[in-house]
Structure 1
């Protein structure tokens, strides 16, 4: 019997359809002139992933932190941040929440989309992004993954980047990666189409519950411990056109990140509302670290690792990537 992970995002269509929905359904945000010093655009759309990474986004909405800044934030669910890239480029989506940094750093380097990080969302932490195998698998540890088929949400991205680094440090060989959206990982693992899955929370906990899958690699091992993974990304065009809006969003999400960093209960309360994970599981899953402030030094670690694995061809200045509002 096929396991169906019960998440809203599992009902989304394939990438092309999801992109079309974003382009068709997220447009038309009314631009309003706020009071003096207020945001130029009061209603903004955020493409949000169903991951623990974006808990602060929902905390900010629930606690009125955006409203306090004069913003009305609408969330458009999306399975993969790359699905929202066309919509972001066309201004139909203003921000991508849970955007994996690898994709957006590559887009900036290549000049395909001038992206900027409004705020970090999540950093690597113990058992929030692990490699799982079926309970009866012969795979016992990192060295057993050499040549095996491992599912990742997006190819040549944050998951393979971090897992390659962990396996390299352990002296283990590399697997063969297969692109499988998080909501479908349970099905392909159960059918034996892959040998293992590299899953992030809350999908990680759901796979353990539904399939009795077990962990063979903690994705937070050296040298990726505490590495920046994802955040809230927009474009230079949006910032140039709406600087007060960008600053207001940054203030609200930074305040929410501080809440998430200190109050696990607030994260546990938010998770069931947008991931459909059970409340009891939300209180126990492995969460990422939620940095209250973004760090150029930490982002430099990610850029250096990407350079090592040839996912970037040149160094990027992390200070230029991180948005700093004018004083």
Structure 2
């Protein structure tokens, strides 16, 4: 909910879920005008912060907007953004870093660049943690210098949040030995002694504690990185320009799904089990990311700024030029 940082590398079925009637062949009103297209191809992943999307599907919010949603699976945030750039997806879910990496490298320039159409999640307290086993040499944040630390990949929310926290605490973050480890393999990497500590989010925070006996060492979403935006939904400039009413309909459906998810956690837990591969017991206790939907340029600007601070990108990006204003609910 994070980058590749928040991805479970397991495939969905590649099936589609219909949000509109099979009898509807012509674009129709999404509330603020005639839809330019009623079918959306969306790239998603098995992350816990996609619960609002699945809730919107379940409750018929996309159908209410006249949309038929077909989703395709991506194994990582980077691959999800690649599907967007290649035209395989009209809208993609990803942690924010791949969107900004693509924009900084002008990967989508031929299609009008990358646009952010909806927020998804931010890092709430105790949702993005560094953990270690009881026999590890890492007992506190001050022990991290020079250690082997599991992250999904470098240049992602995983290592950025960790480095920012270490820098704030006066720890030499440049000495860290980053070990690329998919979240599902983190518990095994800890037990095998391949890493001294690991960055994890839910459900893997609970999984590493249950399976490997890991202990939380420090929260990476505090101080300068408190409530850091971690994931969102993107499209291309060309698609947004050609389909403004369709994008607005998507935004309204996602806002309704997000509002409902925030209002009743018991609606979210079964979706974590069904779509994110989360054990039922873990779903009940997992510390979830903070669901978001409405876009705030100032808040999301923190992500590319952090990426530039740690040389993941070399130029400044103006998020306000990438954001598609959130359509009001009707």
- TM alignment of 1:134-153, pairs within 5 A: 134-153=133-152
Q: Secondary structure at the match of 1:197?
A: strand
The aligned residue for residue 4 of structure 1 is none
TM-score by length of 2: 0.85
**Which ranges in structure 1 are unaligned for 5 or more consecutive residues?**
1-7, 13-17
2:327 and 2:280 mapped to 1: Cα distance?
A: 41
Q: Which residue of 1 aligns with 2:91?
A: 95
Instruction: Check if 1:157 corresponds to 2:166.
Output: no
* Corresponding position of 2:271: 270
Q: How far apart are the structure 2 equivalents of 1:69 and 1:81?
A: 27
Where in structure 2 are the equivalents of 1:130-209 lying within 5 Å?
130-174=129-173, 175-209=176-210
Consecutive unaligned residues in structure 2, runs of 5 or more: 1-6, 17-21
Q: How many residues align?
A: 307
Corresponding residue number in structure 1 for 2:28: 35
User: SS state of the match for residue 258, structure 2?
Assistant: helix
Q: Deviations over 1:73-116 (max 9, x none)?
A: 2333333111223321121122222x111121121122112211
Q: Distance in 2 between matches of 1:300 and 1:306?
A: 10
Contact 1:206 1:277 survives alignment (8 Å): no
Contact 2:294/2:326, CA 8 A, preserved across alignment: no
Pair 129,79 (structure 1): closer, same or farther in 2 beyond 3 Å: farther
CA distance in 1, matches of 2:286, 2:266: 12
Matches within 5 A, 1:231-310: 231-310=232-311
In structure 2, do the counterparts of structure 1 residues 213 and 323 end up closer, same or farther at CA, with 3 Å as the change threshold?
same
1:218 is aligned to 219
Distance 1:277 1:235, change over 3 A: same
Cα contact 1:80–1:181 (8 A) shared by 2: no
TM-score, length-scaled by structure 1: 0.86
Which of 107, 110, 132 is residue 105 of structure 2 equivalent to?
110
User: Following superposition of structure 1 onto structure 2, how do residues 58-69 of structure 1 map, counting pairs within 5 Å?
Assistant: 58-69=54-65
Equivalent-residue separation in structure 2 for 1:292 and 1:121 (angstroms)? 5
CA contact (8 A) 2:150 2:186 kept: yes
**Shift, 1:291, TM fit:** 2.4
**Among 59, 71, 74, which residue is 2:70 paired with?**
74
> How large is the RMSD of aligned CA atoms in angstroms?
2.5
